[in-house]
C-alpha cells in the first residue's frame, strides 16, 4: 500500500480526491432525488434558458473535469501544482460537501434540480437558510472554487466557475421572482433578512 502511494504524484492524488468527491456529492443527492420524484410539481419554470444553463453548468463542473481526469485530451493545458494548492482545494471541497448536505436536510422535499414549486410548497427559512437564501448555490460555488486549486489544468480547473457562474447568474433572479410570486410578503421579508450566498455580504 505504502509503495503504491509513494509512486503517486500530486496530480494523481488530486484526481483520486476529485473522484471520491464526485461519488460523495452524488451519494448526498441520491436520496433527496429519489424522494423528490414522489412529490408532485405544481408549477415549473423550465425555460429554454434554464435548460441551457443547467447543461452548461453540468459540463463545466462535471464533464470537462472528468475528461481531464480520465483521458489525456486536455493534457497540453496542464499546469504545475503543489501540496498547498491541493490542500486548499481539498478543504474547500470538504466545506462544499458539508454545506451541500445541510442544505438538502433543511430543504427536504421542497428541493428540485430546476425551477419548480412542489405541491404544498413551504418557504424554508430555518437551518442554513437562516443565514443566506441560496445556501445550496453557496455550496456549488465552493465546489467550483475548489476545482482550480485541486485540478492542475487550466481548462478543467476553471470550467466549473464558468459553468456554474452561467447557471447562477441566469437563474437566481428568476428563482427569486418565482418565490416572490408564490410567497409574496413572506418572501420579501425573508429577502430583507438575508443575503444571497455569503452571509452579510452578497
Ligand atoms: N436556491 C436555493 C435552492 C436550490 S434548489 C439554494 O441555493 O439553497 C431550487 C428549488 O428550491 C427551487 O425550484 C425553489 O422552488 C426551491 N427553493 C429555493 N429557495 C427556497 C426556500 N427558501 N424555501 C423553499 N423552497 C425553496
Tens of pLDDT, residue by residue over 103-147, are 999 999 899 999 999 988 999 999 999 999 999 999 999 999 999
Structure confidence at residue 4 as a pLDDT band (50, 70, 90) = low
| Ligand 1: centre distance to CA 11 (Å) | 36
Pocket lining: 135 vs ligand 1, CB cutoff 6 Å: yes
Q: So what's the pLDDT on residue 38?
A: 83
pLDDT digits (tens, 9 = 90+) for 79-103: 999 999 999 999 999 999 999 999 9
Q: Is 184 exposed, middle or buried (0-12, 13-18, 19+ CB in 10 A)?
A: exposed
Pocket lining: 124 vs ligand 1, CB cutoff 6 Å: yes
| Ligand 1: centre distance to CA 134 (Å) | 7
Q: So what's the pLDDT on residue 3?
A: 56
Torsion of Cα atoms, 59 then 65 then 66 then 70, to 10°:
150
Any alpha helices (H) in the chain, and if so which ranges?
Answer: 2-7, 10-36, 48-58, 64-70, 83-107, 135-150, 154-183, 185-193
Q: Is 42 helix (H, G, I), strand (E, B) or coil?
A: strand
Torsion of Cα atoms, 44 then 48 then 50 then 55, to 10°:
130
Pocket lining: 103 vs ligand 1, CB cutoff 6 Å: yes
Q: Look at the domain 8-33+46-110+119-193 and name its fold.
A: 1.20.120
Q: What mean pLDDT value characterizes the chain?
A: 94
Domain ranges of the chain: 8-33+46-110+119-193
**Residues in Cβ contact with 58 at an 8 Å cutoff, skipping those fewer than 6 apart:** 163
Pocket lining: 21 vs ligand 1, CB cutoff 6 Å: no
Residue 124 Cα: closest atom of ligand 1: 23
Q: So what's the pLDDT on residue 95?
A: 98
Structure confidence at residue 5 as a pLDDT band (50, 70, 90) = low
Which 8-state DSSP code applies to residue 136? H
How many Å apart are CA 72 and CA 56, to the nearest integer?
A: 22
Pocket lining: 139 vs ligand 1, CB cutoff 6 Å: no
Residue 117 Cα: closest atom of ligand 1: 15
| Ligand 1: centre distance to CA 93 (Å) | 22
| Ligand 1: centre distance to CA 3 (Å) | 47
Structure confidence at residue 43 as a pLDDT band (50, 70, 90) = confident
For ligand 1, atom 13, the nearest C-alpha belongs to: 115
Q: Is 117 helix (H, G, I), strand (E, B) or coil?
A: strand
For ligand 1, atom 12, the nearest C-alpha belongs to: 115
Q: Is 105 helix (H, G, I), strand (E, B) or coil?
A: helix
Amino acid at each position: 500500500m505504502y509503495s503504491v502511494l509513494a509512486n503517486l504524484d500530486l496530480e494523481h492524488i488530486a484526481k483520486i480526491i476529485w473522484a471520491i468527491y464526485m461519488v460523495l456529492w452524488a451519494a448526498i443527492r441520491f436520496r433527496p432525488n429519489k424522494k423528490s420524484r414522489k412529490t408532485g410539481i405544481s408549477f415549473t419554470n423550465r425555460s429554454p434558458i434554464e435548460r441551457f444553463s443547467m447543461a452548461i453548468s453540468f459540463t463545466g463542473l462535471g464533464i470537462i473535469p472528468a475528461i481531464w481526469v480520465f483521458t489525456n485530451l486536455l493534457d497540453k493545458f496542464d499546469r504545475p501544482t503543489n501540496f498547498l494548492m491541493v490542500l486548499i482545494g481539498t478543504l474547500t471541497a470538504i466545506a462544499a460537501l458539508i454545506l451541500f448536505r445541510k442544505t438538502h436536510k433543511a430543504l427536504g422535499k421542497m428541493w428540485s434540480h430546476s425551477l419548480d414549486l412542489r405541491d404544498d410548497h413551504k418557504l424554508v427559512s430555518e437551518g442554513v437558510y437562516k443565514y443566506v437564501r441560496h445556501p445550496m448555490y453557496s455550496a456549488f460555488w465552493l465546489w467550483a472554487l475548489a476545482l482550480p486549486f485541486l485540478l492542475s489544468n487550466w481548462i478543467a480547473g476553471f470550467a466549473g466557475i464558468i459553468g456554474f457562474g452561467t447557471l447562477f447568474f441566469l437563474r437566481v433572479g428568476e428563482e427569486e421572482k418565482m418565490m416572490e410570486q408564490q410567497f409574496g410578503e413572506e418572501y420579501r421579508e425573508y429577502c430583507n433578512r438575508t443575503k444571497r450566498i455569503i452571509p452579510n455580504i452578497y
